[in-house]
Homo-oligomer: A and B are copies of this chain.
Amino acid sequence: MPGSNPYDLGLEQSPVNYRPLTPLGFIARTAQVYPQRLAVIHGARRYNWSETYDRVCRLSSALKAAGIGRGDTVVLIAANTPEMIEAHFGVPMCGAVLCTVNTRLDPAAIAYILMHCEARLVISDTEYASAVGQALALLEHRPRVIDIDDSEGPGGERLGELDYEAFIGAASTDEHWQEPVDEWQPIALNYTSGTTGRPKGVVYHHRGAYLAALSNMLDWQMPRHSIFLWTLPMFHCNGWGFVWTMAVNAGTHVCLRRCEPQRVLSMIRQHGVTHYCGAPVVHAMLAHAPKEWKVGISHRVHGLIGGAPPQLPVIAALHRMGIDLLQIYGLTEVYGPAVVCAEHQEWSELSTDLLTERKGRQGVRYTAQEDMAVLDPEDFTPVPRDGRSIGEVMFRGNMTMMGYLKDPQATAEAFLGGWFHSGDLAVVHEDGYIQIRDRAKDIIISGGENISSVEVEEVLYRHPAVRTAAVVAMPHAKWGETPCAFVETSPDASIGEAELIAHCRSCLAHYKVPTRVIVGDLSKTATGKVRKVELREHALRLATRDAAIPID
């Protein structure tokens, strides 16, 4: 038959050669290969992989028996406990979608999420019973509640009839769980905190969760059997995907309800923790801990830092303690980390300044994210690799969300032109590594010139007394906007506005120097991010007051 293609015949997909990609297979394999290995440490509780798998299967059975299945949402409002890990497998095993909620949200926000995702069942730690109880009271139809009554927790009111142990204890494990019908099936729902407006529900699928979990292993070069300490809340992008990663890693989860530096450092020593993740505040907290807490770590520890570049004093202090930092960058919409500052062996020969500069870049795409670029948002042309031209970071690939739940318009806007728009502005260096300059909305436009708030923050961080710095736009009668800085300093430092402005003058073009530097405590989100919305309001108040004074 001339012209026919020999590969077009008889090579179709079948269940023999095509299975949906899903992270659920990771735990099944690890429970089979390493059943006796320690999977979870939580206070005095210990579960090996066989026991964890058994508990996961029981949870799935119990959910099925409660009528939960495909397309249903199960909400968890919980700390970093074994139940949270188990839900990442047990909920999708019955076909349902896992929605983990930020435990610091107020009752109205929790109620909004429960309504929006049409929660069928809520699993809630008693520590948060007050807020969750108030949220439930706001709902027309109250979903069933299962309480996590954790002996490591502070205790609290029970909201449901059953606690988690009773719920899974009564379940049968005879029935084997089913893989998803389709790898495009949703596995998780994560609400973005959203600086304005209602939170949006970001939907992940099984395929993306599988690939993101593997990419975490590869891009962080995690050896098998790593010991992972949960300094990062699991409600944050499914713990940046590491809840699933640790199953394929056949490692050990070390649970942690509260990220306190003394406790973190003692657990690193006690359990031989090898890996942990967190926002800059987590790492800074360890670096600034009292000397006597820091000593005695006799193995190398790997920390992943996301949210802002690591600062030199933090890198140096952690390195001396035995901790090496690697920077990642990402967003909820790309499964958490999707860009990594992949290191080069030659960097070991760089001076400390150059090394810090290199490690301060966000880097290159994750192995499993097919494309990332810094583009002109108007015409989608890439910015030159000059380290100066600013464009918007955009992604496309298998580690990009399915979309926003029940918001096709927001999805279409986010996917405009065939790319996911991060809203973050960056430059590209000669080596192709990107460096974030700002959130699109954080850029300061002064006298028609763009000022990167990140650049001004970096200069402030170079001052030894500065612990945290945040720069926002302040309205200005003449220039339109000028930078306004908010700074937290070391407890033992006594430094004022004038000195910090002088420091900035010595490093920055004049128009980039903050008009005001406010020294004091900064309000932060549950994940350690500075609340720039509040700072902008603060700056607005200052500007209004200052406007009474003649300018020029």
| Contact surface of A with B, Cβ cutoff 8 Å | 5-19, 21, 25-26, 29, 32-34, 70-71, 73, 97, 117-118, 179, 184, 186, 203, 208, 214, 217-218, 221, 223-225, 248, 342, 344-345, 364-365, 367, 370-371, 395-398, 400-408, 411, 415, 418-420, 432
Structural contact, B32 and A364, CB atoms closer than 8 A: yes
Closest beta carbon of chain B to A381's beta carbon, Å:
15
Question: Are A6 and B71 also in contact (CB < 8 A) when A16-B418, A370-B25 are?
Answer: yes
Which one of B21, B34, B186, B398 lies within 8 Å of A17 (CB-CB)?
Answer: B398
Most B CB within 10 A of own CB, among A70, A370, A398:
A370
Judging by beta carbons under 8 Å apart, are B21 and A398 in contact? yes
Task: Find chain B residues with CB under 8 A from A32 CB.
Answer: 364, 432
Q: Are B16 and A419 in contact (CB under 8 A)?
A: yes
Query: Which of B16, B33, B203, B345 makes the CB contact (< 8 A) with A420?
Result: B16
With the chains together, A32 CA to B431 CA distance in Å? 8
The residue of chain B having its C-beta at the shortest distance from the C-beta of A250 within the complex is B342
> Who on chain B is nearest to A407 by CB?
B10
Q: Are A225 and B19 in contact (CB-based, < 8 A)?
A: no
Q: Tell me whether A8 and B71 are in contact (CB under 8 A).
A: yes
- Given known contacts A34-B344, A218-B217, is B11 in contact with A402 (CB within 8 Å)? yes
User: Closest chain B residue to A405 by CB distance?
Assistant: B6
Bound-state Cα–Cα, A21 to B369, Å: 10
Q: How many angstroms between the C-alpha atoms of A11 and B345 in the bound complex?
A: 41
* Residue from B5, B34, B401 within 8 A of A71 (CB atoms): B5
Chain B neighbourhood of A184, CB < 8 A:
13, 18
Contact A400 B17 (CB under 8 A): yes
Measured CA separation A14–B184 after assembly (Å) = 12
Q: In this complex, what residue of B is CB-closest to A185?
A: B7
Looking at the assembled complex, report how far the CB atom of A274 sits from the nearest CB atom of chain B, in whole angstroms.
14
Q: Which residue of B lies closest to A22 (CB)?
A: B370
Give A225's nearest chain B residue, CB to CB. Answer: B345
Q: Which residues of B contact A371 (CB under 8 A)?
A: 19
Query: Which of chain B's residues have a CB closer than 8 A to the CB of A179?
Result: 370
Docked Cα-Cα span, A48 to B432, in Å, equals 17
Q: What residues of chain B lie closer than 8 Å to A12, measured between beta carbons?
A: 402-403
Q: Is the interface of A mostly helix, strand, loop or mixed?
A: loop
A-B contact pairs, 12 of them (CB 8 A): A6-B117, A6-B118, A6-B406, A9-B408, A10-B406, A11-B186, A15-B396, A16-B415, A19-B370, A21-B398, A33-B432, A214-B218
Bound CA–CA A214/B217 (angstroms) = 11
A418: chain B residues within 8 A (beta carbon): 14-16
From B9, B223, B397, contact of A221 by CB (8 A): B223
What residue in chain B is nearest A21 (Cβ atoms)? B398
Q: Is the CB of A396 within 8 A of B248?
A: no
Are A221 and B218 in contact, CB atoms less than 8 angstroms apart? Answer: no
CB atoms of A342 and B33 under 8 A apart: yes
Question: How many Å from the CB of A516 to the closest CB on chain B?
Answer: 41
Distance in angstroms between the alpha carbons of A406 and B405 in the assembled complex: 45
Task: Please state if B403 and A365 are interface contacts (CB–CB under 8 Å).
Answer: no
Given A33-B342, A370-B19, are A186 and B14 neighbors across the interface (CB < 8 Å)?
Answer: no
Q: Are A420 and B218 in contact (CB under 8 A)?
A: no
Least CB distance from A221 to B in Å reads: 6
The chain B residue sitting closest to A116, CB to CB, is B6
On whether the beta carbons of B29 and A71 are closer than 8 Å, the reply is no
Would B10 and A408 count as touching, CB distance under 8 A?
yes
Which residues of chain B come closer than 8 Å to A218, judged between CB atoms? Answer: 214, 217, 248
CB–CB B406/A18 < 8 A: no
Q: Whole-angstrom distance between the alpha carbons of A78 and B13 in the complex? A: 31
Nearest opposing residue in chain B for A370, CB measure: B19
A118 to chain B, nearest CB (A): 6
A17 to B397: give the CA distance in the assembly, Å. Answer: 5
User: Measured between alpha carbons, how far is A344 from B32 in the docked complex, in Å?
Assistant: 13
Measured CA separation A400–B17 after assembly (Å):
5
Determine if B432 and A71 form an interchain contact, defined as CB atoms under 8 angstroms apart.
no
On whether the beta carbons of B225 and A7 are closer than 8 Å, the reply is no
Q: A5-B70, A16-B396, A21-B398 given. 4 additional CB < 8 A pairs?
A: A7-B71, A7-B186, A19-B396, A218-B248
Q: Given the interface contacts A364-B33, A367-B248, A370-B19, does A7 sit within 8 Å of B344 by beta carbon?
A: no
Q: CB-nearest residue of chain B relative to A203?
A: B11
